[in-house]
Structures are given as C-alpha cells and as structure tokens.
Amino acid sequence: MSERLSPGLYIVELESARLGASLLAKPRPMYVPTAALVTNLSVHFKWGAEQSIAWVTTLDEARPVENAIVTVRDCTGKTMWTGTTDGSGLARIPDLPPLRALPNCYASGLPDVEPFDGSQTLALRELYDGLLVTARDGG
C-alpha cells in the first residue's frame, strides 16, 4: 500500500552498520543523509552582488507562479529575506550578503562522525553554508 505524501521537503538520514563496516576505516555505522522534495514548484535562483532574483515556475507546465512566497535562509535557519513573486514569477531580492559573510554550519561538527567519511558525503559539503531558497504557493 503506497501513501501519498503531502507537498514539502522530507529529509531523512539512514544508519547502516553493514555499509559502515564495508566502507569506513573502522567498523562503525555509516550515516547517509538524503532529501526528497514533493512539489509542483521550481525555484531558480541567481545570487547577485547588488540584487538577487528568484524565479518560481510550475514543474508540470513551466508557467510562472504569481504571489508565491519566497524565503531565503542561511544554514542556521535564519531568514535573510522573504517576499512574494510578481506576475512573471519573479522575486527581486536586494542586499543579500556574499557567501564569505555567511555562517558556516559545519564548524559545529557532527557527533561521532568524522568529516566527509565517504565519497557520497563529499557531494553534501556545500550544504553547510550558503543559502536555501524556498517557495510556497497556497497550501
């Protein structure tokens, strides 16, 4: 029986002792994070020095989404900007800081996990800094 998921971002971390024993230097559990996005919206983002732009479209028809709520957060979850899109699906975002001025959330470390202990984890390195841009329309 399959369950239909509500729109949203689902983040899961799987623990595997077998994978850790096979891939890590010392036998211990390996943690593999992943995410699944259930949505019909797509956010296209251009980070500019003086102004940034988020363009929100539908995935099924590639149409601009008017009045979508766009939120920009740093890796700590702090809201850097929030606003809505215009009739073209564009949100013009002034004064976002450059990457070097944002916090780096990896500095706090992960308990009992060595930094980037497997090749698949290297792909997630940039999730510890930068910006997360999300859009919401209606519900």
In a domain, 76, yes or no: yes
Percent of the chain with pLDDT over 70: 82
In a domain, 31, yes or no: no
Residue pLDDT, tens place only, 41-92? 999 999 999 999 999 999 999 999 999 999 999 888 899 999 999 999 999 9
In a domain, 17, yes or no: no
| Enclosing domain of residue 117 | 41-136
pLDDT of 112 reads 45
pLDDT of 125 reads 52
Tokens of 8: 């949203």
pLDDT band at 26 (very low <50, low <70, confident <90, very high): confident
For the domain that residue 61 is a member of, what is the CATH number? 2.60.40
Say how many domains are in the chain.
1
In a domain, 79, yes or no: yes
In a domain, 87, yes or no: yes
Is this structure's pTM higher than 0.75? no
